[in-house]
């Protein structure tokens, strides 16, 4: 029996750069039942190809449910993306488990200090990041693939356009906070992708504990 495949297209507002595009695409691709996702900051609009495995469905449970969920999810992502630059925009502080705070220093010696950190899974962690150098640095969270992708974005876009949920630019002498929740245990990294910095070792290992 062939699986029904539905091509779903929908417009996404508020994407301002290549990282927004990548984030939406990565997110869509992870949604259950989605086989392929394409997002473009120009026309054509975001598209997701949904190949849900056939299961008996009660009448009135249309395929469009997944499309609606996608749109809602993408809208949330865009909201997160564009509000990330606002300081103090952390969410639901009262009901969330108490955030772990880690003080981080970025140096002109191209180091992220401490070079190794441990964080819990599923708990907001606030990184208080200070650039003690005299050149721009950034603090970008993600696994090896995400770091490589961001390195590429930085190279093609010529720099970070705006702060993001997983990364911030920090000017010389500035201290900024980034609150992030690691959803899965394992290894992650914090890296600076100002040209040449990551390659020179400007990164820290993050162990996300069970």
| Nearest position to Cu ion, beta carbon | 192
Minimum distance from residue 177 beta carbon to Cu ion (Å)? 18
Closer CB to Cu ion, 44 or 199, in the complex: 199
Minimum distance from residue 170 beta carbon to Cu ion (Å)? 9
- Those residues whose C-beta lies under 8 Å from the C-beta of residue 155, and which sit 6 or more positions away, are 195
Minimum distance from residue 208 beta carbon to Cu ion (Å)? 23
Minimum distance from residue 84 beta carbon to Cu ion (Å)? 19
d(CA 199, CA 191): 10
d(CA 25, CA 6): 17
Closer CB to Cu ion, 27 or 203, in the complex: 203
Closer CB to Cu ion, 17 or 194, in the complex: 194
- Those residues whose C-beta lies under 8 Å from the C-beta of residue 31, and which sit 6 or more positions away, are 37, 48, 66, 69, 70, 73
Q: Map tokens 């996300």 to a residue.
A: 208
Footprint of Cu ion (CB under 5 A) = 137, 192, 194, 197, 202
Q: Which residues pair with 209 in a beta bridge?
A: 120
Closer CB to Cu ion, 103 or 209, in the complex: 103
Least Cα distance to 190 among 124, 109, 102 occurs for: 102
């Amino acid at each position: 029996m062939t699986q029904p495949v539905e091509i779903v297209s929908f417009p996404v507002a508020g994407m301002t750069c290549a990282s927004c595009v990548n984030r939406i695409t990565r997110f869509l691709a992870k949604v259950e039942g989605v086989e392929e996702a394409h997002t473009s900051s120009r026309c054509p609009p975001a598209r997701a190809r949904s190949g849900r495995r056939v299961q008996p469905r009660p009448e009135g449970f249309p395929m469009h449910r997944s499309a609606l969920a996608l749109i809602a999810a993408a809208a949330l992502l865009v909201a997160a993306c564009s509000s990330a630059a606002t300081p103090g925009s952390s969410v639901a502080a009262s009901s969330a488990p108490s955030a772990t705070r880690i003080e981080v220093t970025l140096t002109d010696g191209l180091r992220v200090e401490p070079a190794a950190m441990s964080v819990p899974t599923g708990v907001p962690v606030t990184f208080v990041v200070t650039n003690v150098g005299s050149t721009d640095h950034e603090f970008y969270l993600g696994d090896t693939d995400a770091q490589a992708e961001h390195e590429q974005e930085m190279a093609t876009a010529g720099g970070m356009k705006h702060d993001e949920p997983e990364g911030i630019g920090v000017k010389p002498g500035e201290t900024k906070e980034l609150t992030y929740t690691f959803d899965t245990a394992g290894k992650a990294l914090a890296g600076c992708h100002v040209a040449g910095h990551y390659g020179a070792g400007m990164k820290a290992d993050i162990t996300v504990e069970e």
